[in-house]
Amino acid sequence: MDKATFAAGCFWGVEATFRAVPGVVSTRVGYTGGTATHPTYQDVCTDRTGHAEAVEVTYDPAQVSYEDLLKIFWQNHDPTTLNRQGPDVGTQYRSAIFYHNPQQEAAALASRERLEKSAAFKRPIVTEIVPAAEFWQAEDYHQQYLEKRGLAHCHTL
């Protein structure tokens, strides 16, 4: 099994999107990329910890490639809005790829470059591609939030 970590706005919808992918073994939502230790949702919402709402994806690379996960990431949010997705505003809603090894870094950079060259977006892509940092699991009520409430999705664009 391999691990991938993505931030693309509110983690509820991002998690639901990745949970539906064949080859994804598990997901968990949490906070990463910030300075505080053991941050809570309330801490992250202050926009002072530097954390992003993120999804850690455990996947079977024999069934789904990291490149396929990157495609899903790019297709399911707007990577041109800085610290914002839809009505959600703040650094915790930024677009980011947290890579776990040099191969993921290279793949993420190449995928962003291809997307930029394709002119698929009218504005520049602002997605951060940074090393994975400590991942702090979010509170239990955030895990599989939409599934627990019988919802298929929430806004991501």
Residues identified as active-site: 10
- What gap in Å lies between CA 151 and CA 80, rounded to an integer? 27
Report yes or no: 111 and 125 within 8 Å, Cβ to Cβ.
no
- What gap in Å lies between CA 25 and CA 155, rounded to an integer? 24
Alpha helices in 4-148 (DSSP H): 11-19, 41-45, 66-75, 102-118, 145-148
